[in-house]
Amino acid sequence: MTLAWPHFLLLTGTTLLAMVFSLLPGVNAATLAALLIPFTFRWDPVTLLLVFGPLVGGATFMGSVSAILLNVPGNPPNAATLLDGHPLARQGQAMTALGCSAAASALGSTFGVFVLIALLPVMREAVLLFGPPEFLMLAVLGLTTVTAVRFGSMVKGLAAAGIGLLLSFVGQDPKTGELRYVFGCLALWEGLGMVPMLIGLFSVAEMLDLAASGRRRIADHEAFGAPAGSVREGVLSVFRNFGLFLRCSVLGTVVGIIPGMGGTVASFVAYGHAVQSAGADRARFGQGDIRGVIAPEAAHDAKDGGSLVPTLTFGIPGNEGTALLLVALGIHGIVPGRELMTGGLSLVFVLIWSLFFSNWITSLVGLAVARPLVRLTLAPTHRLVPCLLGAAVLAAFAAKGRGSDVVVALLAGVLGYVMKRHRWPRISLVLALVLGRMFELAFHQTLQLRSLGKVALAERPVFLALLAVTAFLIARPLLRGLRRGGGAA
């Protein structure tokens, strides 16, 4: 059904539209979904799902294109890609980075889709396996990667993570509602928004660095007439690092299954894992290590398949796209749950294949259109900087429609610039920022449920498995150091 030519035309057309939206900072495919919903009233369910497949997560590679070329993430989850993707572009390896990103994106999405299909019979039970104790261990697991991504002084890395955690505590305490670190400012009651913080720490900070450096162009060399890397090399790099790709795809899928964690967590935790698992061979991370592109791309796109698990079984959206998918399904009287998973399974497969094909279309077409965009790296910075700063301002504003978010983004931009300038690891701060609130909430909830006798930690297999993995990851560098007879790594 999906491969009939009118359906394929529809799928391709929507994918192309989604790609345009994903490329622009401040808007994404979910924006397109919101705009299309009024037109879906008279559509049949198959058409609806063919259109929403790309909008749920089929065009995310395009956000990576602006991250790699311009150091400005198209969407917050793409921020992890620029850490090594943009340095590669500056070194004249833009097409290598883009080829790698496209391949990891498409293959990661494929992995997520196949896991989703494999989980179909047990989707409900898979979601029910994760409660506050499991969220706590996942947050701890993610935070352990902080020690790996420090790129230098361990003290600085841990301190940056501490600062990130403290920033995550701003606002109402998730358990008691008590206000913390708001200084009487009502705009801070709900905490520092993730979107403005990431826009500031990466987009604004990078633009400030570009302007302050006095560089006339993004690229460090003239790329006219010279190759900007090799797509083939980029694609092959995914297969050369297939173990890393698989692990990050698994990570992304698991994160996707857990309601509320999102693509940003998946990308950054995967990046942290890539550095952590590199062991002694981590010197090039942050300066153009291709593994720093593979990890977040694979995780971010594998997450899309995973995020459909809670959406289709319990109606819990994993991201903006799935939230709007639920709105569209509701209009057509399609209710997630047992009924959809039994009597409506053919519709579920329409959505799955739509997601699958749209990711491949995006990667292939995206690579073709990205080549001319590489020339943007030669655009004069004095023109690029104000335009991209302006786009960042609007992106921060568009999140909640509040001017205070723009101020947060600009202040975060100054912080990010200072950190970059004086070699404080932003990635450690961001990891702690994205995980801090979840960690604290899950910590309190787990303690409370345990004291009320509602959870027995020893009887929760997923919790125990995550505890074992975390312990191993913490112990491994210590054991390695002991074996070498020197200090810890």
User: Should residue 400 be labelled a site residue for other proteins when binding is judged by CB under 8 A?
Assistant: yes
Interface stretch with other proteins, choices 87-95, 220-228, 245-253, 445-453 (CB under 8 A): 445-453
Least distance (Å) between residue 441 CB and other proteins: 5
Q: What is the total count of residues that contact other proteins (CB under 8 A)?
A: 112
User: Should residue 447 be labelled a site residue for other proteins when binding is judged by CB under 8 A?
Assistant: yes
- Is residue 49 within 8 A of residue 354, CB to CB? The reply is yes
| Residues 348, 467: Cα–Cα separation, whole Å | 34
Amino acid letter for position 294:
I
Least distance (Å) between residue 53 CB and other proteins: 17
Q: Which is nearer to other proteins, 227 or 448 (CB)?
A: 448
What's phi and psi for 223, nearest 5 deg? -105, -5
| Residues 443, 460: Cα–Cα separation, whole Å | 16
User: Should residue 402 be labelled a site residue for other proteins when binding is judged by CB under 8 A?
Assistant: yes
Q: Which two tokens stand for residue 451?
A: 């004291």
User: Should residue 462 be labelled a site residue for other proteins when binding is judged by CB under 8 A?
Assistant: no
Among 110, 307, 358, 445, binds other proteins (CB under 8 A): 445
Please give the residues from 206 up to 225 whose contact with other proteins meets the rule CB under 8 A.
Answer: 208, 211-214
- Beta strand pairing call for 179-180 and 171-172: antiparallel
User: Should residue 387 be labelled a site residue for other proteins when binding is judged by CB under 8 A?
Assistant: yes
- Is residue 54 within 8 A of residue 14, CB to CB? The reply is yes
Q: Which is nearer to other proteins, 41 or 472 (CB)?
A: 41
Interface stretch with other proteins, choices 57-65, 123-131, 225-233, 464-472 (CB under 8 A): 123-131
User: Coil, strand, or helix at residue 250?
Assistant: helix
User: Should residue 92 be labelled a site residue for other proteins when binding is judged by CB under 8 A?
Assistant: no
CB atoms under 10 Å from CB of 319, counted, come to 24
Please give the residues from 325 up to 344 whose contact with other proteins meets the rule CB under 8 A.
Answer: 327, 330-331, 335-339
Please give the residues from 291 up to 310 whose contact with other proteins meets the rule CB under 8 A.
Answer: none
Q: Which is nearer to other proteins, 16 or 34 (CB)?
A: 34
Triad 26, 60, 20: Cα angle to 5°:
60
Among 8, 12, 16, 24, binds other proteins (CB under 8 A): 24
Among 227, 279, 390, 481, binds other proteins (CB under 8 A): 390
Among 100, 275, 293, 389, binds other proteins (CB under 8 A): 389
**CA-wise closest residue to 244 among 305, 285, 287, 299:** 299
Among 64, 147, 168, 307, binds other proteins (CB under 8 A): 168
User: Should residue 120 be labelled a site residue for other proteins when binding is judged by CB under 8 A?
Assistant: no
DSSP assignment letter at 172: E
Least distance (Å) between residue 285 CB and other proteins: 16
**CA-wise closest residue to 228 among 74, 378, 79, 64:** 378
Please give the residues from 267 up to 286 whose contact with other proteins meets the rule CB under 8 A.
Answer: none
Q: Which is nearer to other proteins, 281 or 339 (CB)?
A: 339
CA dihedral 351, 355, 356, 357 (to 10 degrees): 100
Please give the residues from 124 up to 163 whose contact with other proteins meets the rule CB under 8 A.
Answer: 127-128, 131-132, 152-153, 155-156, 158-159, 162-163
CB atoms under 10 Å from CB of 243, counted, come to 9
* 168-172 long-range Cβ contacts below 8 angstroms, 24+ apart: 168/192, 168/432, 168/433, 168/434, 168/435, 168/436, 168/437, 168/440, 169/436, 169/437, 169/440
Contacts of residue 24, Cβ cutoff 8 Å, sequence gap at least 6: 74, 391
Interface stretch with other proteins, choices 4-12, 231-239, 272-280, 378-386 (CB under 8 A): 378-386
User: Should residue 175 be labelled a site residue for other proteins when binding is judged by CB under 8 A?
Assistant: yes
Least distance (Å) between residue 391 CB and other proteins: 8
